[in-house]
Amino acid sequence: MQITSRFTIAIHSIILIEYNKDMKVTSKFIAGSTNVNPVIVRGVLSQLKEAGIINSRQGASGITLARGLNEITFYDIYKAVDSVKGEGLFHFHEDPNMQCPVGRNIHFALDNRLAGVQTTMENELRRIKLSDVVNDVKNKIETENL
Amino acid sequence: MQITSRFTIAIHSIILIEYNKDMKVTSKFIAGSTNVNPVIVRGVLSQLKEAGIINSRQGASGITLARGLNEITFYDIYKAVDSVKGEGLFHFHEDPNMQCPVGRNIHFALDNRLAGVQTTMENELRRIKLSDVVNDVKNKIETENL
DNA sequence: ACACTTGTAATATAACGCATTACAAGTTTC
DNA sequence: GAAACTTGTAATGCGTTATATTACAAGTGT
């Protein structure tokens, strides 16, 4: 299984907001650049707003960033748009047989280790800032017309 | 999104094979301990076999390990049962707009970083050996009746 | 007032995970 | 060799989820 495209949609959106900060960036505009349905985009933006990453007002056109780009990490976005219901990264088979010695103790042996893997991944996501990505995109665009 | 329960089912199965290695472990037996449908179990076992982790013969009862427990990592199992079609951990939105400077360069800025996160996670999975987990389960079972 | 926006609800569709039935093909045991 | 088991797999159903889409309420700005 894969982590939802909502994650990359969210990153793409934030880059757009920054790159076009001199104009009013709308969900329709983001939908055009990502090639994703406007309602889906608004759903993602809604989650980013709830996480305190962007600002928006009903009716008022124009999405803005709520914090500096170097204060937004991939982890923030991941948590905002993809971590549903506080479920972990790994889906354990529900209902191991408690009559079986192994089934009875499998969680004891696995839970910590799986949580550790998840934490490792999340820490790696924390290391990546949106400012890094935005800089890369801007520089790449600069060199496009040479 | 979550990593499929096939992963924990596979781990559970291997522990069962090891813990009951003096008897013939069947897919039905594993199904009973995991509380997962026997056909699903056989599907997982089939993938483990293809990855060279277990041995089985059609018709012949009894699944056995194909390598030592310290030569099987979580990564081996993950790759065997969950990584479908070589897709990455992250699902990118399919069709960014190439007319847009950002849409045109988003992959350039993200692909390496997302691959890095995936690699970090996979390396963490590589650090965990089945022998560790099996030892924990066995020790825990030992202390159950004290 | 009008044309725009954000914000949501409701529904459709496609993909996927797991359960289940069915059965072919192979093995062990008597 | 027949019976009773096994592995291996195909086919089908069902529930869940991701995304697309339609529709519309509510708010903003000209």
Report field, pTM of the whole predicted structure over 0.85: yes
| Phi, psi angle pair for A99, to nearest 5° | -75, -20
The strand pairing partners of A65, in sequence order, are: A54
- Of the candidate CATH numbers 1.10.10.10, 3.40.50.300, 1.10.3720.10, 1.10.540.10, the domain formed by B6-137 belongs to 1.10.10.10
The residue that leads in pLDDT, B11 or A145, is B11
Contact B87 A2 (CB under 8 A): yes
Size of interface A-B (CB pairs under 8 A): 187
Confidence of residue B85 (pLDDT cuts 50, 70, 90): low
Q: Is pLDDT above 70 for B138?
A: yes
User: What is the CA B28 to C1' D7 distance in angstroms?
Assistant: 11
Give nucleotides in strand C with any atom < 7 A to a protein C-beta.
4-10, 16-22, 24-28
Residue B103 has pLDDT above 90, yes or no: yes
Residues of chain B positioned with their CB less than 8 A from the CB of A26: none
The hierarchical CATH code for the domain A6-85+129-145 is 1.10.10.10
Spell A53-89 as b/e; 16+ CB within 10 A means b: bbebeeeeeebebeeebeebbbbbbbebbbeeeeeeb
Each residue of A2-55: pLDDT tens digit? 899 999 999 999 999 999 999 999 999 999 999 999 999 999 999 999 999 999
Would you call B125 exposed, middle or buried from its count of C-beta atoms within 10 A (0-12, 13-18, 19+)? buried
- pLDDT at res. A125: 97
Please report residues contacting nucleic strand D, using a CB cutoff of 7 A: A 4-6, 35-40, 57-61, 84; B 1, 25-28, 39, 42-43, 45-46, 49, 56-63, 91, 93
